[in-house]
Structure 1
């Protein structure tokens, strides 16, 4: 590793080599990137490998329910202004995938790491991060994810007294509760469109008051901290009150919020907002998300939405009616098998759009759309849906494994 006065031990080197070999074999067999299986093998051979790989890096951890893959990409682009970066850009965000990513970055100065919410405390312990970005917490994968208040509690306990600078969204009460145990927090007003997981106070259980953009608990006084960075329309306001324009190729308000948090993280490492934001313009798509592809002579824009908060943000950025919309929902292992979250999504926002429904759980989605008084057609597959779509660019919104299926079908 760059400037490494303490090279990896023979055991660690063996673990890295074995992990890479297994990953290469997995790729050759057509089983995906191989990063997870490679990381698992490497960690079996050297359980301390993640800590060893991180010891000479300035590490940033990014965790949230929504937006962590995109924000990780934006931060990585911004920090490249200050030196080489290694990152788990494809979103393998549990310890095995993270280990695999870091093993590939021998000359890096910065490690920009997306971390699954449930693993944040452990990965923070292993990697000794300089900075941790906390964006939001909302319901996700209902069959197995801890209730959001419990996740916030895990973060709060796991990060208590950390040396890392925490960059946290002050508009999400659960994030504020989680970050408040840390001595060094930079608050960013990044907004919160989905509020249904934050009506009760995480501190005392009282009812949250939400006048305008503010929030506070009328019972215990827990309240929104004053931000030093803020998203304001198409600009990021820095701690000196300067407004820096956000120019992104990624659509929607949520990505402007991700850029605001990313600029605050970059500043921790001495990269000025103007430089950071200019570099973020390079990001066109993130692991296929937001890509516009040609399929059956039509333009399809691929959008990932995994949970109610994500669907709400996605509806806000699609082309206006009568743009056709294809919705695809699965309920496989990686999605969570419980689809009751569909009832938390406000599908009346699609009124006026011709809607076509595909995916393993298309009938669950059809029932939900029926109740929301939407006009839709259930289709056998993507090909049939595209052929039935009226003219115009087609917005395709899918949850996790459905999105992977779509990418394979369109050759993306």
Structure 2
């Protein structure tokens, strides 16, 4: 529990030390940050370590299909106005990665933790959070994650009775259904561009009515709650009716929505919206996302899109035609091996852009683009794609492991 500064037991200290050693070995071997293997080793030695590491922290958990890494970063920046923060900023968001992150934050006051959707309820039980941010739920990794309605049900059951303040997106019916079992909910009008996973009522299965920005079920009466925080244009509207300008270097409406939810979370911890939003301006990129890098004499902007909702948001960010676009899709374990989601993405929005296709599943993507009636070229490597592209900054859009491949190649 926050405020309880009971020192770690000898066993817990041993687990932390062993975990850090395992992580160091992994890094030395060039196998990434080592946070996951380090956390696994530590939890094997002390299964209750996560709870022990969180006991002195005021914790906020962030979960969603899209935007959780960025929102975690924005909340962490905002809360630094009130004290030291420990966070899993690189996105290792399952219990092992979270444990590794917290093990490095013995002097912190706040823990800002991104959590994979499947693990939210279990992590919430372990760390007794003060706040939980729920941003959205949409189809993702169809072979690994549960169907969205089942995930919402899992959240709903897992958060029932939680003493945490739930900061939830009022515009996503699945999130509202999940949060409605909780005692304290702060509703945020953060918007929902992707609606294809929320046409049926999560409560009764009836058809959802969506007049304008509102939504309700005509059968059971389940409806959009009244928000107390809202994104309006370039401003955050707080519960007192004050409008605060959003200061971001990150592009797009989705990030303004992330900032709005982040400001609502910061307020739970006593950080005023003006202070929170000003501090968010410091964030230029998040784990390489939105970075502009120089490669083979060209400027490349790196954009991550992992699922249909993410691709829809990303298309709204890119420079207009004839800006060249490189698309890269893999289907490795971390991506989900099922690429049928490609058929849910409206690629016709890329009409007029010179398109170059790379990645493990470039042929799957090529078939999808062929059906969409788009002109494109399949390339073997990023180098070939960049060298074939016409002049101008190149937009590179990739799913998870493809994005990591691109970052390694460009030295980012």
The TM-score bracket by the shorter chain reads: over 0.9
Residues 164-243 of structure 1 correspond to what in structure 2 (within 5 A)?
164-243=164-243
- Deviation of 1:143 after TM superposition, in Å, equals 1.0
Q: Is the 8 A contact 1:2 1:108 kept in 2?
A: no
Query: Do the aligned partners of residues 56 and 350 (structure 1) sit closer, same or farther apart at CA in structure 2, a change above 3 Å counting?
Result: same
1:144, distance to aligned residue in structure 2 (A): 1.7
Q: How many residues are treated as equivalent by the alignment?
A: 412
Residue pair 2:137, 2:172 contacting (<8 A) in 1 also? yes
* Cα deviation, residue 6, structure 1: 1.2
CA displacement at 1:223 relative to structure 2: 0.1
Alpha-carbon spacing, 1:371–1:5, altered in 2? closer, same or farther (3 Å): closer
Q: How does 1:46-195 map to 2 (within 5 A)?
A: 46-195=46-195
C-alpha contact (below 8 Å) 1:2/1:106 kept by paired residues: no
The 8 Å contact of residues 2 and 107 in structure 1, kept in 2 or not, is answered as no
Aligned to 2:22: 22
SS in structure 1 at match of 2:366: helix
Contact conserved, 1:293 with 1:300, CA < 8 A, in 2?
yes
Deviation at 1:4, TM superposition (A): 6.1
Alpha-carbon contact 1:247-1:277 (below 8 Å) kept: yes
State yes or no: 1:406 paired with 2:406: yes
Q: Which runs of 5+ in 1 are unaligned?
A: none
The answer to whether the 8 Å contact 2:2/2:55 transfers is no
Distance 1:363 1:229, change over 3 A: same
- Is 1:272 the counterpart of 2:272? The answer is yes
Given that 2:2 and 2:54 are in contact with CA atoms closer than 8 Å, whether structure 1 keeps it comes out as no
Deviation string for 1:140-177 (max 9, x for gaps)? Answer: 00112100000000000000011000000000000000
Structure-1 separation of matches of 2:142 and 2:155 = 19
C-alpha deviations, 1:263-296, integer Å up to 9, x for none?
A: 0000000000000000000000000000000000
- Distance in 2 (CA, whole Å) between partners of 1:201 and 1:21 is 49
Corresponding residue SS for 1:70: helix
Is the Cα–Cα contact under 8 Å of residues 49 and 99 in structure 1 kept in the other structure?
Answer: yes
The alignment's TM-score, normalised by the length of structure 2, stands at 0.99
* Deviation of the 1:333 alpha carbon: 0.5
In 2, Cα distance between equivalents of 1:176 and 1:6: 37
Unaligned runs of 5+ residues in structure 2 are: none
The alpha carbon displacement at 1:2 in A equals: 11
Query: CA offset at residue 3 of structure 1?
Result: 7.5
Contact 1:166-1:186 within 8 A present in 2 as well = yes
> Can you list the C-alpha shifts for 1:182-222, whole angstroms capped at 9, x where unaligned?
01000000000000000000000000000000000000000
Q: Provide Cα deviations, 1:310-351, integer angstroms capped at 9, x if missing partner.
A: 000000010011100000000001000000000000001001
Are the equivalent residues in 1 in contact too, given 2:2–2:58 (CA < 8 A)?
no
Deviations 1:212-236 (A, max 9, x none): 0000000000000000000001000
Residue 91 of structure 1 aligns to a residue whose secondary structure is coil
CA distance in 2, matches of 1:175, 1:351: 33
Q: Distance in 1 between matches of 2:353 and 2:324?
A: 6
Q: Deviations over 1:340-396 (max 9, x none)?
A: 000000001001100000000000000000111111000011000000110111000
Counterparts of 1:144 and 1:265 in 2: how far apart (Å)? Answer: 29
Q: Is the 2:331–2:360 Cα contact (8 Å) retained in structure 1?
A: yes
Please give the TM-score of this superposition, normalised by the length of structure 1.
Answer: 0.99
3-state SS of 1:377 partner: strand
The answer (yes or no) to whether the contact 1:53–1:103 under 8 Å persists in 2 is yes
Please state how far the C-alpha of 1:36 moved relative to its aligned partner.
0.3
Compared CA separation, residues 3 and 166, structure 1 to 2 (3 A): closer
State the distance in 1 between where 2:181 and 2:4 align: 33
Q: CA RMSD in A?
A: 1.0
Q: CA deviation at 1:87?
A: 0.1
**Separation in structure 2 between the aligned mates of residue 336 and residue 156 of structure 1, nearest angstrom:** 25
- Structure-1 separation of matches of 2:66 and 2:47: 29
The structural deviation recorded for 1:5 is: 4.0
